Amino acid sequence: RGKPVLHHSLELFLDRLPEYCQQMGVSAPDHVVLVMDPSYQPEYQPYIDRYPKGRLTFANPGKERQGSVENGLNKLVEVSGGKCKYSAIHDSARPLVTIEEVCNVVRDAKQHGAAVLGVPCKATIKESEDGAFVLRTIPRARLWEVHTPQVVEIETLLRGFKKVADEDLEVTDDVSIVEALGEPVKLTLGEYTNLKITTPEDMDVAEAILEDRQAKALAAAQ
């Protein structure tokens, strides 16, 4: 409550995750790229100024999601001097992702080259051609709802973006680029609480989850 949705993700990747990594004796992400419309960037410049140069940088969005991701990836390659091997692409509309989820999906990406957080689909899914009548029911046992972060080896993403551009492909999420290359993507089991905020009702649910987490943290500290 009283905190912009984006700030939850910024604080996770810039503050809480590095602190956790330091405690665990493992390396934390050196660079965070914030893909944001230029009209909003002055508002967030003070946020960037809090950190050492290159720790948090802006990239401009593209016309579509894949363009925004490509711009962010190119900026990451630039600020890291080409030394960064993996990219974790996160949707700021998912403010409830946990450190454990991030660590698990990064672990799987390092082992398999690409990984995506997700959960087995709980709803029954119907397919329709016209939006008026059911064509068929899709077997739920094979369906996963994918979340973010989606973590991919940068070299793979760069090859994927070239293929997408050369063949004029349309991709709906980041690991679809890896799928287009015919390479494997590991499903990392996440949490149903990593919801995407798209409606006012989602905001109410997110606030309730945050309050529950805070209450449990206080109880554990006592």
Tens-digit pLDDT profile for the chain (222 aa)? 678 999 999 999 999 999 999 999 998 999 999 999 999 999 999 989 999 999 999 999 998 888 899 999 999 999 999 999 999 999 999 999 999 999 999 999 999 999 999 999 999 999 999 999 999 999 999 999 999 999 999 999 999 999 988 998 888 888 999 999 999 999 999 999 999 999 999 999 999 999 999 899 888 887
Please report the pLDDT score of residue 1 as a whole number.
64
Residues in the chain: 222
Beta bridge mates, 110: none
What is the pTM (predicted TM-score) of this model?
0.92
Please report the pLDDT score of residue 106 as a whole number.
97
- At residue 136, the 3 state secondary structure works out as strand
Q: Under a CB-based contact definition with an 8 Å cutoff, are residues 171 and 67 in contact? A: no
Let me know the angle formed at the C-alpha of 112 by 111 and 117, rounded to the nearest 5 degrees: 95
Q: What is the C-alpha separation between 86 and 106, in angstroms, rounded? A: 9
Q: What is the C-alpha separation between 108 and 103, in angstroms, rounded? A: 9
Q: What is the C-alpha separation between 33 and 199, in angstroms, rounded? A: 26
Please report the pLDDT score of residue 84 as a whole number.
93
Q: Which residue has the tokens 């799987």?
A: 108
Q: What is the C-alpha separation between 156 and 174, in angstroms, rounded? A: 11
Q: Which residue has the tokens 């080409």?
A: 82
Please report the pLDDT score of residue 107 as a whole number.
96
Please report the pLDDT score of residue 101 as a whole number.
98
Strand spans (E) along the chain: 32-35, 56-59, 86-89, 114-120, 125-127, 136-138, 144-153, 186-189
Please report the pLDDT score of residue 88 as a whole number.
97
